[in-house]
């Protein structure tokens, strides 16, 4: 029997969480936007920079894989249709539509939370409990099969029940390992989780999976070479005794794909304390000191399929709007002669995308004459004068307060086969968001020019010592 330090976490099975994951999301959005179904049945890939961000199943059947270089994808599948996916606006718009579709179908009785662009979680516990109580309360004369019911989504006070027909006697399981449903709950969950790559577990991101994968691979390498496997729980060595060799981001991604949940969970001596040592975490805080890396206890729970995080009902308005991009900067301190101009150009592109997102996410049409509609000028300054007499105008639903610029330096060359400690660190600077950004009468191009020259370029100069950076910008509503 495992001691308390290495014991698996206790499981709570009193909630029912539904998980929706939109299949091949980016490629499906591209296909559905094509006029007349022109891309249906064809190989489609969505590109970002020089790689294939994703592709549809027609392309995958031909051997194309996501994160593949564009040149390689074209070599494998010459007739693949490649669509630029740098502008995420169409994908964000569809994601919001699908989220609202699920939320409106479920009703107010269950919280619905969106994760990223293509995942939605629904806490259906209250719905299931309510329907179970309805079945138990059914008159004895009603002989309908108890497992073939109308799944009611009505909330208290609804005049008419609404829902959909569901036959619980038929259970459809997606392709995957056959599960022994007669086993105990823990065994079933671990049987499902153990073969999965670390990145498949919600809550374990790139940073966390890279650190865990590097540790596991380094320990296995040491064992093959005749050394004793490192285990901080039983020895007094420091992490430096098994420091893995520096990996490139591409190499780390590959390692994260080869190390599975079972490799980490079943590693000799593994425990929350060991995970804290690997991740450089602080056991007393929700996240580690190295960015947003979760604590060892949190990762230990996730590796065992335990997550008590509540599903939080989403809001129509985002808490922040952010745009970011990555650039290949110069190595060894060499600077381009036009570096300052190049920075300004990229900031201009990002600011344009940011303003477009603010208009899409934070404005709505307001009927003129409505007592609740604020005084707003017409936004389309290029339209004829008659447009100003239209019966609806745009109004801001919310006004963000803070403009934040964040830079992450490009990873320098490794020294003595060791990656720098602050590779994942971001440098940030904030200031109040200028009020002119909210003008709906000023052409967007003028707003962007003023924002870049008056705010973003000065903020960048205070942050960056060289143009080897990953640049992001966020507007937060604080």
Domains assigned to the chain: 185-303 (no CATH), 320-476 (3.30.1490.100)
More confident residue, 418 or 442: 442
CA torsion, ordered 331, 332, 337, 341, to nearest 10 deg: 50
Q: What would the DSSP string read from start to end of 390-444?
A: -SEEEEES----EEEEEEEEPPPPPBTTB--TTTT--EEEEEEPPGGGG-SSS-H
Asked if the model's pLDDT at residue 384 lies above 50, the reply is no
Asked if the model's pLDDT at residue 116 lies above 80, the reply is yes
Percent of the chain with pLDDT over 90: 35
Q: What would the DSSP string read from start to end of 257-293?
A: HHSBHHHHHTSTT--HHHHHHHHT--TTSSB-SSSSP
- Please, what is the average pLDDT of the chain? 76
**What is the spatial distance between Cα 109 and Cα 157, in angstroms, rounded to a whole number?**
12
More confident residue, 137 or 299: 299
For 325-382, write each residue's pLDDT tens digit.
Answer: 766 555 544 556 677 788 889 899 999 989 988 988 898 876 555 444 333 333 333 3
Confidence class for position 383, pLDDT limits 50, 70, 90: very low
Mean pLDDT confidence for 315-328: 76
Residue 376 has what pLDDT? 33
Mean pLDDT confidence for 85-111: 87
For 260-304, write each residue's pLDDT tens digit.
Answer: 999 999 999 999 999 999 998 544 444 444 457 889 999 999 999
Q: Given its phi and psi angles, is residue 319 left (phi above 0), alpha (psi -120 to 50 degrees) or beta?
A: alpha
Residues in the chain: 478
For 236-269, write each residue's pLDDT tens digit.
Answer: 343 434 444 434 444 444 554 589 999 999 999 9
């Amino acid at each position: 029997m495992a001691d308390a330090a290495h014991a698996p976490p206790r499981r709570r099975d009193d909630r029912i969480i539904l998980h929706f994951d939109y299949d091949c999301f980016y490629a499906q959005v591209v296909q559905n936007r094509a006029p007349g179904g022109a891309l249906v049945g064809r190989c489609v890939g969505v590109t970002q920079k020089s790689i294939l961000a994703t592709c549809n199943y027609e392309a995958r059947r031909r051997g194309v894989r996501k994160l593949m270089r564009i040149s390689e994808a074209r070599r494998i599948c010459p007739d693949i249709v490649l669509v630029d996916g740098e502008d995420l606006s169409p994908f964000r718009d569809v994601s919001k539509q699908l989220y609202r579709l699920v939320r409106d179908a479920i009703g107010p009785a269950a919280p619905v939370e969106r994760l990223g662009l293509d995942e939605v979680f629904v806490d259906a516990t209250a719905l299931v409990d309510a329907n179970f109580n309805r079945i138990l309360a059914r008159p004895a004369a009603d002989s309908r099969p108890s497992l073939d019911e109308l799944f009611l989504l009505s909330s208290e006070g609804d005049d008419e029940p609404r829902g959909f027909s569901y036959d619980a006697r038929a259970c459809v399981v997606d392709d995957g390992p056959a599960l022994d449903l007669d086993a105990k709950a823990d065994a079933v969950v671990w049987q499902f989780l153990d073969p999965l790559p670390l990145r498949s577990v919600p809550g374990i991101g790139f940073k966390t999976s890279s650190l865990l994968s590097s540790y596991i691979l380094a320990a296995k390498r040491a064992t093959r070479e005749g050394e004793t496997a490192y285990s901080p729980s039983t020895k007094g060595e420091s992490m430096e005794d098994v420091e893995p060799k520096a990996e490139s981001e591409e190499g780390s991604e590959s390692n994260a794909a080869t190390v599975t949940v079972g490799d980490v969970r079943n590693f000799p001596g593994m425990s929350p304390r060991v995970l804290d040592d690997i991740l450089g975490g602080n056991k007393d805080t929700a996240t580690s000191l190295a960015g947003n890396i979760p604590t060892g206890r949190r990762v230990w729970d996730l590796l065992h399929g335990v997550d008590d995080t509540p599903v939080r009902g989403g809001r129509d308005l985002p808490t922040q709007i952010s745009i970011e991009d990555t650039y290949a900067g110069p190595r060894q301190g060499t600077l381009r002669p036009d570096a300052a101009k190049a920075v300004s150009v990229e900031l201009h592109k990002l600011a344009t995308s940011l303003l477009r997102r603010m208009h899409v996410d934070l404005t709505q049409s307001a009927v003129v004459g409505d007592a609740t509609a604020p005084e707003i000028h017409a936004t389309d300054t290029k339209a004829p004068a008659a447009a100003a007499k239209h019966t609806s105008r745009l109004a801001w639903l919310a006004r963000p307060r803070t403009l934040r610029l964040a830079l992450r330096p490009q990873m320098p060359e490794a020294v003595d086969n060791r990656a720098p400690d602050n590779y994942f660190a971001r440098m940030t600077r904030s200031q109040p968001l200028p009020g002119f950004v909210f003008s709906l009468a000023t052409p967007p191009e003028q707003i962007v020019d003023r924002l870049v020259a008056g705010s973003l370029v000065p903020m960048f100069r205070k942050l960056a010592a060289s143009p080897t950076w990953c640049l992001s910008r966020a507007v937060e509503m604080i």
